[in-house]
Chains A and B, each alone.
Chain A
Amino acid sequence: MRFGAPLFLMLCLFPTSVGSQSRETDPYSVQFVESSLRTASANPGVSVSFIQQRLQRLGDGVSIALLKILSEQDLRNPKTVDAFLPLIRQSFSHPDIISPPINKKPQVTLFLLKYLQRSISDAKTLQEIKETIRFVDEETANVR
């Protein structure tokens, strides 16, 4: 019997352990969102494709990570809030590519944003929060 066609037999012959996927090493994307926040804070207005692509696939996952990263004190700091609101907007700018699908629904994000509305007093930041809520509402209108 002849096996002439190209086959992926090497999958059996040359196994390599796979334990380094980010899903496993950073299941809540905490490391990624934290590093993205640092980069965004240091470089306001700069869009880096390597960061943007992943943020756009995270959806609600960005807010989940932010809640794990930031303290209550951070969430009352207008400067910190101003830094991460663009990340939230990016995370819902293309809901069609968000994975897993449950993160297409902005339940945690809207919970966070409405919490921020109650805890922030700075007028400019409050306006940014309001606009972010509107943006997320509009972008996810078809998935809720």
Chain B
Amino acid sequence: MNGTVSARYLQPAETCTFQGGGPSKVQVPTSLQVLSDTKVIDLSYEGCSNSAYGIAIAIYYQVLDQNSQPIASNKMEPQEKVTNLVINGQHQPDPAPNWVDFGPSNYPGTAQFTDANGRTLDAPVGVCSGTPVTETATQQYSVLFKGTRYPANGVLRTNNWTMTSSSAGHGSINNGGDISKSR
């Protein structure tokens, strides 16, 4: 947001007065950008051996403002909602119908808050099993900053996940958009 900020100093009286104004850039968390180091990770983070069915990935995100510029703050608390979980064609209860932290997890580098660059790591994201498996789910993101949720309306990002594995040691995952990985 661009606007004008003014200030006026009034105390102590009669000693000093200043005022001013000028353009001010206010950054509003608006979206999450997937970073290039997003990758497939060891299935042990998912609780399985690599010879199992399934796939797990680590996703690096950058919080962007309304002008698609990075917000460099380590005070943002990324959260998720996860709904519409379907495993092998069967609907399951929503894992996270209300906003909840997705970090930290057992994967190194995950945290409750963004780093100083306004980046966050979501990992592991995936599924594994001893038998062929297909999972779909809807994952939405927002951030908390000092008790206030952003964006005020809507979400930073939605991933419509499809994860599938029909042979042991292999699997694929995609969000129907900018994330697609396989092993």
**Residues of A in contact with B (beta carbons under 8 Å apart):** 1-4, 6-11, 13-16, 18, 20-22, 25-26, 31-32, 34-36, 38-39, 42-43, 45-54, 56-57, 90, 93-94, 97
B134 to chain A, nearest CB (A): 10
| Chief secondary structure at chain B's binding surface | strand
Task: Report the separation of the CA atoms of residues A49 and B7 in the bound assembly, to the nearest whole angstrom.
Answer: 49
> Please, could you name 14 A-B residue pairs with CB atoms under 8 Å apart, sorted by A?
A1-B21, A7-B26, A20-B98, A21-B99, A22-B98, A34-B93, A35-B93, A38-B92, A39-B95, A43-B87, A45-B129, A46-B129, A47-B54, A49-B125
Q: Is the CB of A36 within 8 A of B95?
A: yes
B41 to chain A, nearest CB (A): 11
Given A6-B26, A54-B100, A97-B106, check contact A42 B92 (CB 8 Å).
Answer: yes
Q: Of A1, A8, A36, A47, which contacts B128 at CB under 8 A?
A: A47
Q: Of A7, A10, A32, A50, which contacts B139 at CB under 8 A?
A: A50
19 A-B pairs besides A2-B20, A3-B24, A43-B90 with CB distance below 8 A are A1-B18, A1-B21, A6-B71, A6-B72, A9-B26, A10-B26, A16-B149, A18-B148, A20-B149, A21-B100, A22-B96, A22-B98, A32-B96, A46-B128, A47-B46, A47-B127, A48-B85, A50-B85, A53-B105
